[in-house]
């Protein structure tokens, strides 16, 4: 472990450090077996058949993934679905849900076949299995996540994956189970995050001292062109906005296996803060899988709202707050994890009071290379993150 990494862990507040090691979470590759997932699906079908046999309405029950009242925050783990959460029920005998009921059985049958044959498919593959039936990719996507939540298993254990959109660069080698080695230092524009992320059996890095998660691809490419991974000895990764599951999962795996600090660089606006919270605490829609996706030790290095004021950026570099921004700030302040992270709450309040927001690119007003030459090196050296 490098001196920087050691200092990072030692400088974490006592509660965060204790929570991190008290709640290690399940190992990514030992959550549940294919046989167990098959058994869960079979149990579900048997219950439906029993309903029919007893002249009852066959129905499926889902935990709602769209309301904050259904989740709670557990320090060191992230967002979790409450045991007493509200549920929604779809039935073959109800006009308003019989179509979704049929779609759900169709998707369950496709997942069952994938598990039986030990094959993997993308969500896009499933959609084009019968596009007229599903009508839209979004419908299929929501069904897959609903089924994962209903069965209580991560999506990849359903043998369904999504196309990755993220990129990664730096001194890192990903070794896959088929022997393929992905060298993340070879490409001038970064390497795509693998779709089959669970086929990665080993991760190796000789020089990396920390992982820098970057909100936008434009900033990622700019810092890569300035050779930041070599200059600061770091691995950089971006989800190109709201991160996909594979980018979140790879970030978590690197954090766990390399034991490196994870720092996040996001726009100083409500949207950027929410993306940071998705990486760090988990998302509402996938709260049932936060134990595998939440990057528990992530720290927010910038662009902090207090940095915007401290650097005295001119108003022409800033963007005014809209009504949507104000509503998003109020929503963020009510999130269940804010009570445990008053320093983040303080930044949200500072932004709301300032009534302006700023993108990372606004730092180029000071100097075209200010972000990579000054801002990030000083922040890393002085340990300025929250």
Number of neighbours of residue 71 by Cβ within 10 angstroms: 26
What six digits make up the tokens of 106? 């169709």
**Which of the residues 112, 128, 337, 375 is marked catalytic?**
128
What six digits make up the tokens of 92? 């073959």
CA distance 304 to 206: 31
Q: What is the 3-state secondary structure (H, E, C) of 257-286?
A: HHCCCEEEECCECHHHHHHHHHHHHCCCCC
Q: What are phi and psi of 174, to 5 degrees?
A: -105, 120
What is the H or E stretch that residue 86 is in? none
What six digits make up the tokens of 176? 């896959």
Q: Tell me whether residue 355 is exposed, middle or buried, using C-beta atoms within 10 angstroms of its C-beta: 0 to 12, 13 to 18, 19 or more.
A: exposed
8 Å CB contact between 92 and 58: yes
- Parallel, antiparallel, or unpaired: how do β-strands 262-265 and 210-214 relate? parallel
Three-state DSSP at 214 gives: strand
8 Å CB contact between 183 and 173: yes
CA dihedral (13, 16, 22, 23) in degrees, to 10, reads: -170
What six digits make up the tokens of 200? 């990665």
Q: What are phi and psi of 237, to 5 degrees?
A: -145, 145
8 Å CB contact between 173 and 204: yes
Nearest to 332 by CA among 386, 261, 277, 285: 277
Known catalytic residue at 128: yes
What six digits make up the tokens of 72? 């709670």
> Which residues are part of the catalytic machinery?
128
């Amino acid at each position: 472990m490098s001196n920087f990494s050691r200092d990072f862990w030692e400088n974490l507040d006592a509660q965060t450090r204790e929570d991190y090691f008290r709640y290690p979470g399940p190992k990514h590759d030992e959550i549940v077996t294919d046989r167990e997932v098959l058994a869960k699906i079979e149990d579900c079908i048997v219950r439906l058949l029993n309903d029919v046999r007893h002249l009852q309405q066959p129905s499926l029950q889902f935990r709602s993934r769209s309301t904050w009242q259904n989740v709670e925050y557990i320090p060191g783990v992230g967002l979790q679905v409450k045991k007493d959460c509200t549920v929604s029920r779809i039935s073959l005998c109800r006009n308003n849900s019989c179509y979704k009921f049929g779609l759900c059985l169709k998707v369950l049958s496709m997942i069952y076949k994938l598990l039986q044959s030990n094959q993997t498919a993308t969500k896009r593959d499933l959609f084009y299995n019968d596009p007229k039936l599903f009508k839209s990719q979004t419908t299929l996507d929501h069904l897959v996540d609903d089924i994962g939540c209903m069965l209580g298993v991560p999506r990849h254990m359903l043998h369904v994956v999504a196309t990755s959109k993220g990129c990664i660069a730096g001194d890192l080698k990903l070794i896959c189970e088929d022997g393929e080695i992905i060298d993340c230092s070879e490409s001038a524009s970064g390497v795509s995050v693998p779709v089959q992320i669970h086929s990665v059996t080993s991760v190796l890095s000789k020089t990396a001292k920390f992982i820098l998660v970057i909100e936008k691809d434009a900033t990622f490419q700019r810092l890569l062109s300035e050779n930041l991974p070599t200059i600061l000895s770091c691995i950089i990764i971006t989800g190109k906005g709201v991160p996909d599951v594979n980018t979140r999962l790879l970030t978590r795996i690197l954090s766990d296996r390399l034991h490196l600090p994870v720092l996040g660089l996001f726009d100083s606006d409500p949207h950027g803060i929410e993306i940071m919270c998705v990486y760090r605490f988990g998302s509402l829609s996938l709260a049932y899988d936060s134990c595998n996706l939440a990057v528990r030790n992530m720290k927010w290095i910038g662009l902090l709202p207090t940095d915007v004021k401290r650097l005295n950026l001119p108003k022409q570099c800033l963007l005014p707050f809209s009504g949507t921004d104000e509503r998003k700030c109020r929503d963020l302040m009510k999130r269940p994890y804010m009570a445990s992270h008053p320093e983040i709450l303080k930044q949200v309040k500072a932004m709301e009071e300032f009534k302006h927001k700023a993108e990372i690119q606004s730092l180029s007003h000071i100097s075209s290379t200010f972000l990579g030459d000054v801002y990030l090196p000083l922040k890393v050296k002085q340990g300025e993150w929250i």
